[in-house]
A and B are shown apart, each in its own frame.
Chain A
Amino acid sequence: MRELELYFGPQHLGMVGNFSITLNVEGDRILKATANPGYLHRGFEKLMEGRTWIKNFPMVCRINVVEPDHMEMVYAMGVEKLAGIEVPERAQFVRSIYLELARVGSHLFGLWAYANMLGFDTVANWAMYHRDLVLDLFEELTGGRVYHIYIWPGGVRRDFPEGFTDRMVETLHSIGGCVPDYDSTFFNNTLFSERAKGIGVVSREEAVAMGGTGQAIRATGMKYDVRKVDPYAAYDKVAWEVHTREDADAYSRIWIVRDEMIESVHMIFNLIDAMPEGEVYNRIPNPLKWRIPAGETYVRCESSRGELGLYLVSDGGEKPYRVHFRTPSYSHGLTILEKALVGANIADVGNIMISLYVVAPEIDR
């Protein structure tokens, strides 16, 4: 049969995000896949070198539009570590709650993309609606729907407004009440399992060799989660579990997404109960003239797709000397995806890509 070269994306219905893959196919079997990123490259890390430490906060969240909050968090962690700033106890809890809420929102977005791609329009609409409810909470807390710029070095911008925790619990309960519906229409649906089982298998050896994190590694049965391995914020103060599966395919990864969402909601409830009173913010020096001692550091946190890291270098000036983000989609989208697509069917490209949770702006930065 003749070998063809196909361009998948950037303008393509099966493509979520501005990303492109060149596929060499024979019939509808993929012989070779070449990821072609860069459609969203803005040179963030260079631009950040030209802005002061504090001015970079509105920048960093725009690196990943699906989940801006973990970007803020990892940058704040880096700045705090270099400058030696302490974060009050209550702010740690507020941050954790906020990040878990972001994780729920991001997973719902992922579920929308996945269900939409498989043709489960009802489930996609539910997921998007429920995500909007989460965004409403963010809007109340921070004033922005998508970009929040809530985390600052030294804590968070403001404490929870009055009655916010109650409304948050109520919203999360109403979303959680729909889990049986999601299960019966989607997760336990044979259409879903037929379509996803055995698709896009990434074995543990492959995932380890290619720097896989997040669902990609947890779907192979390894309990690797930065929140456990290298705890930050208040993740070591409450009890929670890492969810894993054994089959390493798209089906396992999407089930992990579901389990993690439920775990996050439970974790939020626990965090709210354990939250101490107090300040949420330690004053930092005048941010407009803020110099941070020379040094370098690598900090990491667990975003909803895997390990998000930041290598930060300061030369003692008012601006960062070098910023480099290690984003989870980078390894998932460039090496693992190219590997997992070989031998797959064309119809499964979107399936594999979304189940690996590849978010294009994160790769390009």
Chain B
Amino acid sequence: MTSSLSTRLDATFKGVELGSGDDDRLAVSIPREAVVPVLTFLKEEGYDYLQLISCVDWIDRGEFELVYLLSFYTEDEVGGDGGKQDVLLKTTVPREQASAPTAIGVFAIAEPHEREIHELYGIHFEGHPRLTPLLLDRDYEIPPFRKDFDTKQYVADVFDRVPPVEEEG
């Protein structure tokens, strides 16, 4: 089942790299443009549950890595559909002018995840209907989850600089 999934993935899409991932997950690396078609393909394969969209800032390589974790709803105990593996889908986005296609069309739950990544990493999602601030109230020059954002320095610059209100003795 799984091998056929990986072979089918390989056959259908160009530029798909299959990694071993950890023991119970199939790791797939794809180019940025293929995200939506591959997600659609996987959804048709029965992966109807997008657990998480995450983002990792590999500052040394100068790129962000978007990670899509896919699973499926099942009622079977242990192992699900005869050992069907979960999928970990990865794509990279350059740090400069970071942008990626939105996955909302495939999974509705992608909406807040992408909004959060937009806010915390500054990645633009093309076609996302509301990339408004989700969690933060202030503007940060560097989006705060990037590796070059130094929280300690920021705290010293902003919160520690606020003077105490003097009290008469």
Contacts and interface: CB of A to CB of B under 8 A. Distances in A.
Q: Answer yes or no: A and B touching, Cβ < 8 Å.
A: yes
B74 interface: yes
A86 interface: no
Interface stretch (B3-11, B32-40, B44-52): B44-52
A54 interface: no
A313 B56 contact: yes
A298 B27 CA distance: 12
B88 A298 contact: yes
B165 interface: no
Contacts of B49: 208, 211
A19 to B, nearest CB: 12
Contacts of A313: 56
A41 B136 contact: yes
Nearest to B74: A229
A171 interface: no
Contact of A224 (B73, B111, B133): B73
B136 to A, nearest CB: 6
A37 interface: yes
A210 B135 contact: no
B25 A298 contact: yes
A229 B144 CA distance: 36
B168 interface: no
B137 interface: yes
Contact of B108 (A45, A46, A209): A209
Interface string B83-107: 0001010000000000000000001
Nearest to A330: B112
Contacts of A50: 151-152
A47 B86 CA distance: 29
B69 interface: yes
Contact of B77 (A222, A229, A324, A364): A229
Interface in A242-264: none
B78 A236 contact: yes
A187 interface: no
Contacts of A307: 51
A211 B74 contact: no
Contacts of B144: 43, 46
A301 interface: no
A331 B88 CA distance: 19
B51 A298 contact: yes
A217 B151 contact: no
Contacts of A38: 133-137
B151 A298 contact: no
Interface in B125-169: 133-137, 144-145, 149, 151-152
A107 B52 CA distance: 25
B52 A311 contact: yes
Nearest to B152: A50
Interface in A187-240: 208-211, 217, 222-224, 228-231, 236
B80 A229 contact: yes
B50 A211 contact: yes
Most buried by B among A47, A210, A298: A298
Interface string B37-69: 000000000001111101011000000000101
A81 interface: yes
Contacts of A230: 78
27 contacts: A37-B134, A37-B135, A38-B135, A38-B137, A45-B145, A46-B151, A47-B151, A50-B151, A208-B73, A209-B107, A211-B107, A217-B73, A224-B73, A229-B77, A229-B78, A230-B78, A296-B22, A298-B51, A298-B52, A300-B51, A311-B54, A313-B56, A322-B56, A334-B111, A335-B108, A335-B112, A364-B135
Interface of B: 22, 25, 48-52, 54, 56-57, 67, 69, 73-78, 80, 86, 88, 107-109, 111-112, 133-137, 144-145, 149, 151-152
Given A297-B22, A309-B51, A321-B56, 11 more contacts: A208-B49, A208-B73, A211-B51, A222-B73, A222-B75, A296-B22, A298-B86, A311-B67, A322-B54, A324-B52, A326-B52
Give the 7 A-B CB pairs with smallest separation, nearest first: A38-B135, A211-B109, A326-B52, A334-B112, A41-B135, A324-B54, A223-B75
